[in-house]
Chain A
Amino acid sequence: MINMTDKKAEQKNWGVSYGQMVKNEFMKNKLNIISLFFIIVLFLLAIFAPFIANDKPYVIRIEGKLSFPLFSSLTANDYVILLAACIGLCQLLLMRRNQRTIEPTMRGHVLRRQLSINAAIFIICSVMLYIFIPSKLDATDYKGMISSNRASDAVFAPIPYGYARTDLRKREQPPSREHWLGTDDVGSDVLCRLIYGSRISLSVGFVAVGISSLIGIIIGAVLGYFGGKVDFIGMRFIEIMMAIPVFFLIITIVAYWERSLFNIMVIIGLTTWTGDARFIRAEFFKLRNQDFIQAAVSLGLPIRSILFRHMLPNGIAPVLVNATFGVAGAIFIEAALSFLGFGVAPPTPSWGQMLSLGVSTTGRFLWWLTLFPGLAIFVTVLAYNLVGEGLRDAVDPRLRKAA
């Protein structure tokens, strides 16, 4: 008992870490919480998409035998996404535990170790999953089996349609009880495709921003720390990158190379890092002459350690805020690319591509194919922008006072 109270008292003395301060400030605004909640829901939809919308039943009795077509038809992709979700959840729980049990000064080291272990587990497991899970196509018409009385006791997902299932008899139908948000030009269910489309949008957002932040941080750090000639040449390069209209550059590259999600992510990442680089550069210019960096230099620490262990933590806050807006931007760019026909190849669903079907080839205006995918893009981008705005206010104490 005494031990417990001791521990509590000790925790009080730890005070509040910077991360907690930002979190408390962020949570003060209701709108921020709502946006964050929405993004979490969106992630859940993306992760559990095959369980929410699927044309295969969870359970079905075919000629007296029970089978589980939905589970056996999950692809390696689905498993990897589920795995990532599990590991992410574990990491979050670990971080909560860290906050209770580990002293603030030590948290960084522990967190780094946990992150690298988890990343290693994720990479190894996903490679194994891709190798061992065969890609199979289960095109059995389970609904037909039920109507022809060959199967019974089927339990379907809430939205019993597959994203690649086409039905030309039911093309371009407005919302009805059967298809809640209508059907598209080949008769696929719009709601189902919207749910799967969130996977593309979210993954593009995160991977593209990850790439661009990484490049931006490294280039900005090098330019800001070394200054002089390196900085001059580097800044000319950044100027070149900034002078090219980014969207034009992206469509040039995307139009020329193979249409794939991976390419789009990489290209968006490679073309949008200039803002981060300039932020970090300016921050490092300021930090370079401060005492603790001088101390690190005179201790003979390797340059990598000075740049990324000592300077970066002091200058990363604006980049994190920028990254949130960057995710919104990347989602928007992906939607625009898909809208123009440069996106992922069908039948993989993407919100922008669905939106482009809103005016059919015959010139008919299909409002449900315009409104629903458009709203999906809008609400997602809005939520990210709101979170970004909230984070910026929370991170920057100067702005906090001014607002």
Chain B
Amino acid sequence: MTDYIIRRLLLMIPTLLGITIMVFTISRIAPGDPFSIAMGPGGQLDAERFADIREQQKKLHGLDKPLPVQYLIWLKRVATLNFGDSIKHHRPVIELIKERLPITLTLNLIAFVIIYTVSIPMGVLAAVRHKKLFDRLSSVILFMLWSLPVMLVGQLLIGYLCGPAFKNWFPPAGLSSNYADTLPFFSWLGDRLWHLVLPVICLTYSGFAYLTKQVRAGMLESLRADYVRTARAKGLSNTIVIFRHAFRNSIIPIITIMATLLPAMLGGSVIIERIFSIPGMGMLAFEAVTTRDYNVVMAVATIAGLMNLIGLLLGDIAYAAVDPRVSFESKV
């Protein structure tokens, strides 16, 4: 097991290098640079001075060297956890990420917990009531939710619940009210949660469908198994058969999904953070790509990739921990 983890961790290094090389190349060979965007093409400056300033800026940020050299310099810095400065914010990238990452993580973790607490009972119930009304109804509704574009839901929520159009229940944007800093802790927390309600709704609803379907499929399979029939034949109560015998055995796919769901949600939060103007990682990524803030783009890609890989690894480890039949001795 330890062997396996070490091997996997070592394999993560080339993968991570591959990710950074890919994003680095994509962002650098594209036309344009951050300074032209910041200053506009020409503007009040005449062309010659503009070009001059741009060259100076490029030199300052080390963008005048050949690409492979730039990449190696970047790599050397990152090895010491220094992601460089943001060209737009004039601050170290690591500071920006320290500010933004917790916001996105909280948002996603809340959504994650809600998805699991709703989906698992629903999936189990749907499997137990196989082909009954609840099963059919829930699968139809969840399927529709799954196809519902988050942009539509987000804007409808903002339009109807945050303004004069219908009800003014929730704040339309941001993470906390202007006066939040003056509040005592619990009111501050309440204010924060009040701001998080709508974004969390947007993050969760599409996840329900996917997870519920998996839980239902797993449960259906184990409910048909011989050991469940045996358990029933022994005269065990229905609850014990379902939760002790069937559910425990159908838990494995749920765990593997956990590993893939979280990173996917991080990617999806770009849109949600944009709609609700939440200053999280998604927003940072969005700003960085539009202003060509190279260091920020690279840092976001690296961190997102790293989290993805760690998620996959944790999923595999949890898989082995839950299912004694799984052994990694023969696998890569």
Q: Which residues of A contact B (CB under 8 A)?
A: 236-237, 239-240, 242-249, 251-253, 255-257, 328, 332, 335-336, 339-340, 352, 355-356, 358-359, 365, 367, 370-371, 374-375, 377-378, 381-382, 385-386, 389, 402
B266 → A minimal CB distance (Å) = 6
Decide if B121 is an interface residue (CB 8 Å cutoff): no
Q: When the two chains form their complex, are residues B149 and A378 in contact, meaning their CB atoms are under 8 A apart? A: yes
Residue from B30, B160, B268, B289 whose CB has the most chain A CB atoms within 10 Å? B289
Cα separation A142 to B271 with both chains bound (whole Å) = 42
Cβ proximity bits B55-80 to A, threshold 8 Å, 1 near / 0 not: 00000000000000000000000000
Q: Is the CB of A240 within 8 A of B27?
A: no
CB-defined contacts of B286 to chain A, threshold 8 Å:
251, 340
With A243-B15, A253-B26, A340-B270 known to touch, is A248 a contact of B301 (CB < 8 Å)? Answer: yes
B165-A365 in contact (CB<8A): yes
- In order of increasing CB-CB distance, the 6 nearest A-B pairs are A374-B152, A256-B30, A245-B267, A365-B159, A240-B18, A382-B147
Q: Which residues of A contact B160 (CB under 8 A)?
A: 365
Residues on A with beta carbons closer than 8 Å to the beta carbon of B271: 336, 339-340
Q: List 30 A-B contacts (CB under 8 A).
A: A236-B14, A240-B18, A243-B312, A244-B19, A245-B304, A245-B308, A248-B285, A249-B23, A249-B301, A251-B270, A251-B289, A252-B26, A253-B30, A256-B26, A256-B27, A256-B289, A355-B151, A356-B151, A365-B160, A365-B165, A370-B156, A371-B152, A374-B149, A375-B152, A377-B149, A378-B147, A378-B149, A378-B152, A385-B143, A389-B143
**A378–B264 Cα gap in the complex (Å)?**
20
In chain B, what residue has the closest Cβ to A370? Answer: B155
Q: How far apart are B4's CB and chain A's nearest CB, in angstroms?
A: 16
Give the complex CA separation of A181 and B16 in angstroms: 49
Flag whether B290 is at the interface (Cβ < 8 A).
Answer: yes
Chain A's nearest CB lies how many Å from the CB of B182?
26
Neighbour of A358 across the interface among B155, B163, B264, B308, CB < 8 A: B155
Over the window 274-300 of chain B, the binary record of Cβ atoms lying under 8 Å from chain A Cβ atoms (1 yes, 0 no) is 100000000001100110100001001
Given contacts A243-B15, A248-B285, 17 further A-B contacts (CB under 8 A): A243-B309, A244-B305, A248-B267, A251-B270, A252-B297, A255-B289, A256-B30, A328-B147, A340-B271, A355-B149, A365-B158, A367-B156, A370-B152, A371-B152, A374-B152, A374-B155, A402-B220
**How far apart sit A244 and B32, CA to CA, in the bound complex (Å)?**
23
- A256 and B151 contacting across the interface, CB-CB below 8 Å: no
B148 close to chain A: CB less than 8 A:
yes
Quick check: is B144 within 8 A (CB to CB) of the other chain?
yes
**A373 nearest in chain B by CB position:** B152
> Contacts A237-B18, A244-B19, A339-B271; is A252 near B289 (CB within 8 Å)?
yes
Chain B residues, Cβ within 8 Å of A328: 147
Chain A residues with CB under 8 A of B27: 252, 256
The residue of chain A having its C-beta at the shortest distance from the C-beta of B224 within the complex is A402
Q: A248 contacts B270, CB within 8 Å?
A: yes
Residue B146, interface by CB 8 Å: yes
- The complex places the Cα of A249 from the Cα of B263 at a distance, in Å, of 13
A121→B309 CA distance, assembly (Å): 47
A251 and B285 in contact, given A237-B18, A385-B146, A385-B147 (Cβ under 8 angstroms): yes
B270's partner among A247, A356, A367, A402 (CB-CB below 8 A) is: A247
CB distance from A333 to the nearest CB of B (A): 10
Least Cβ–Cβ distance between A46 and chain B, in angstroms: 19
Taking CB atoms and an 8 Å cut-off, the chain B residues in 10-49 that contact chain A are: 11, 14-16, 18-19, 22-23, 26-27, 30-32
The docked-state distance in angstroms from the alpha carbon of A359 to that of B271 is 15
Q: Which among B26, B152, B155, B297 is the interface contact of A359 at CB below 8 angstroms?
A: B155
Nearest B residue to A367 by beta-carbon distance?
A: B159
**In the complex, which of the residues A247, A256, A358, A374 contacts B268, with contact meaning CB atoms closer than 8 Å?**
A247
CA distance A365 to B271 in the complex (A): 18
Cα distance A356–B312 in the bound complex, in angstroms: 34
Q: Which residues of A contact B274 (CB under 8 A)?
A: 340
Q: Closest chain B residue to A242 by CB distance?
A: B308
Instruction: Please determine whether B148 and A371 come into contact, CB atoms closer than 8 angstroms.
Output: no
In the complex, the chain B residue whose C-beta lies closest to that of A331 is B149
Q: Which residues of B contact A377 (CB under 8 A)?
A: 149, 151-152
Cβ-closest chain A residue relative to B30 = A256
A256 touches B152 (CB 8 A): no
Is B308 a contact partner of A243 (Cβ separation < 8 A)? yes
How far apart are B162's CB and chain A's nearest CB, in angstroms?
9
Q: How far apart are B319's CB and chain A's nearest CB, in angstroms?
A: 17
In the complex, A352→B271 CA distance in Å?
Answer: 12
Query: Among residues 141 to 190 in chain B, which have CB atoms less than 8 Å away from a CB atom of chain A?
Result: 143-144, 146-152, 155-156, 158-160, 163, 165
When distances are taken between beta carbons in the complex, the residues of chain A under 8 Å from B156 are: 367, 370-371, 374
Contacts of B152 in A (CB 8 A): 355, 370-371, 374-375, 377-378
Cβ–Cβ < 8 Å partners of B155 in chain A = 355, 358-359, 365, 370, 374
User: Complex Cα distance A257/B32, Å?
Assistant: 9
| B144: A residues at CB distance < 8 A | 382
| Among A243, A252, A336, A382: residue with most chain B CB under 10 A | A243
CA distance A251 to B11 in the complex (A): 27
Find chain A residues with CB under 8 A from B14 CB.
Answer: 236
Closest to B274 in A: A340
How far apart are the CA atoms of A257 and B158 in the complex, in Å?
32
> Do A240 and B289 contact each other (CB < 8 Å), given the known contacts A245-B266, A358-B155, A378-B147?
no
User: What separation, in Å, do the CA atoms of A245 and B267 have in the docked complex?
Assistant: 6
Across the interface, A244 reaches (CB within 8 A) one of B11, B151, B292, B304, namely: B304
Q: Which residue of B lies closest to A366 (CB)?
A: B159
- Please name all residues of chain A whose beta carbon is closer than 8 Å to the beta carbon of B309 when the two chains form the complex: 243
Most B CB within 10 A of own CB, among A248, A249, A378: A248
Contact with A along B215-248 (1 / 0, CB 8 A): 0000011000000000000000000000000000
Which of B155, B304, B305 lies at the interface centre, i.e. has the most chain A CB atoms within 10 A of its CB?
Answer: B155
Note all chain A residues with C-beta closer than 8 A to B146.
Answer: 385
Q: Given A340-B274, A370-B156, are A378 and B148 also a contact pair (CB < 8 Å)?
A: yes
**Whole-angstrom CA separation of A349 from B23 in the bound complex:** 30
* B159 x A257 contact (CB < 8 A): no
A240 near B159 (CB under 8 angstroms)? no
Q: Are A335 and B289 in contact (CB under 8 A)?
A: no
Complex formed: what's the CA distance from A375 to B155 in Å? 12
Closest to B297 in A: A252
Tell me whether B158 and A367 are in contact (CB under 8 A).
Answer: no
Given A245-B263, A340-B270, A374-B156, decide whether A381 and B147 contact each other with a Cβ distance below 8 A: yes
